Amino acid sequence: MKKNTILIVDDQEVNRFLLSEIFADKYEIIEAANGIEAIKAIKKDAMRICVVLLDIVMPEMGGFEVLDLLRKKKLLGIMPVIMITGDTNPELENKGFDKVQQTLYTSRLIHML
């Protein structure tokens, strides 16, 4: 199965629309309005998804919680996740870097073993 689908996860409909418009010519698009919808979409279509564009701050389940769940289920190795946010809080940005760095380190370590 060809991986040609982008999962766009953002609680703001306008953000999902804009990102969809950017990529719709070359990729199939799946949209999710929160982390719970994202997890459902990933469970259903994980083998088709080539990348997840994941908002950090969302109701019900935020991006960091989604990232933690994907790490626990070992799904980060099969699809990259790009964290997106409109928030300019440096602490939030640092937390994102820390989580991604942990994921990259763990993935590299697993591949080395």
Task: Output the domain CATH number for residue 23.
Answer: 3.40.50.2300
The more confidently predicted of residues 47 and 87 is 47
Q: How confident is the model at residue 96 (pLDDT cuts 50, 70, 90)?
A: low
Coil, strand or helix at 4 = coil
Look at the block and give the residue holding tokens 């994102």.
96
pLDDT at 73: 85
Confidence category of residue 50, pLDDT binned at 50, 70, 90: very high
Domain that holds residue 59: 5-112
- Chain segment 17-26, per-residue pLDDT in tens: 999 999 999 9
Q: How far apart are CA 16 and CA 34, in angstroms?
A: 11
Alpha helices (H) in 47-89, listed in sequence order: 63-72
Region 35-52 average pLDDT: 94
> What is the tally of structural domains in the chain?
1
Stretch 26-37: mean pLDDT, rounded? 97
Q: In this predicted model, which residue has the larger pLDDT, 13 or 106?
A: 13
DSSP state of 51: E
* 87, pLDDT greater than 70: no
Q: How confident is the model at residue 113 (pLDDT cuts 50, 70, 90)?
A: very low
Contacts of 81 (CB under 8 A, 6+ apart): 51, 52, 54, 67, 70, 100, 103
Structure-model confidence comparison of residues 6 and 2, the more confident one = 6
CA proximity to 51, closest of 88, 23, 13: 23
